[in-house]
Amino acid sequence: MGVLVLMIDKSRSRPVKFVIGVILFAYLSYFVAQGAIGIDLFDAGMSSLVRVHNNGFFDAIYKIISWIASPAKDIFWMVLLAFLMYGFKYKIQAFWSLVLLAGGDVLGTIVKHLVARARPIDHLASDTGYSYPSGHVLGTFLIVTVVIVLIVPELPTYRMAQIVKWVAIVWLLLVMIARVYMQAHYATDTIGAVLLGWVWVQIMAWVYQLYARHLLQWRLFYRSYL
């Protein structure tokens, strides 16, 4: 039977991770909503740093990254991962992954409307809605979490596992940079998305521990790995 490590297994540190994530996300959301000067200065500095090499080449690269990591594409990538996991008898994990993304999108939408932060002035017309947190980054973070926690441990070699793990992490960082470079989001929008995703993953890991074994009784998840 396949073994799921760290996030799915019981962890004494998970409550601590959850509390720290909630506190950091709450503080950041509060200061963003209040338009704190320190937040504005940080975002301005990060934007200048990211856009220091502003040219046509980077425009094209970051547009492609943003397109691949769009919320609609995130749904496609997660469904694809779930389909593959289900086919390899990781049925409960596949279902969990879909719920993880769906719930994360709902939470992100709720926070967007609660904070109601306007996007940067020079954002593209195609970037609509509120700015905080970044939907692109939130979805990407959840997909990367599934890859690292559910897929990487099952890869046949340590070398392959490390390559996939670090490629996933670098991809997340590139998406964060791309959204700031394209002026679709402030840097704190991307950080807020990561913190929200982190908190949601802790909650969903707890839910997995509580209900995974019960799902084995459902015909849909018959003979699934745990």
- What mean pLDDT, rounded, does the chain reach? 88
Q: What is the pLDDT of residue 11?
A: 67
Q: Which amino acid is at 149?
A: V
Query: Is it the case that residue 2 has pLDDT exceeding 50?
Result: no
Tokens of 101: 């993304």
Higher per-residue confidence, 7 vs 166:
166
Query: Is it the case that residue 109 has pLDDT exceeding 80?
Result: yes
Cis peptide before 133, with omega less than 30 degrees from 0?
yes
How far, rounded to the nearest angstrom, does the alpha carbon of residue 96 sit from its chain's CA centroid? 15
Instruction: Say how far apart CA 224 and CA 217 lie, in whole Å.
Output: 10
28-37, 64-73, 115-124, 179-188 — which is least confidently predicted?
Answer: 115-124
Question: Which pTM was predicted?
Answer: 0.91
Over range 88-113, report the average pLDDT: 93
Whether 32 and 209 have beta carbons less than 8 Å apart is answered as no
Whether 133 and 200 have beta carbons less than 8 Å apart is answered as no
92 — pLDDT class (breaks 50, 70, 90): confident
Over range 127-133, report the average pLDDT: 85
201 closest CA partner among 144, 136, 135, 130: 144
1-5, 46-50, 57-61, 144-148 — which is least confidently predicted?
Answer: 1-5
Whether 170 and 108 have beta carbons less than 8 Å apart is answered as no
55, 106, 168, 180 from 73: Cα distances, Å: 26, 16, 16, 19
Query: Is it the case that residue 4 has pLDDT exceeding 60?
Result: no
Residue 13 CB neighbour total at 10 angstroms: 8
Over range 114-139, report the average pLDDT: 85
For the chain, state the CA radius of gyration.
18
6 closest CA partner among 56, 33, 225, 14: 14
Instruction: Say how far apart CA 166 and CA 146 lie, in whole Å.
Output: 13
29, 105, 169 from 95: Cα distances, Å: 30, 16, 23
DSSP annotation of 124 reads -
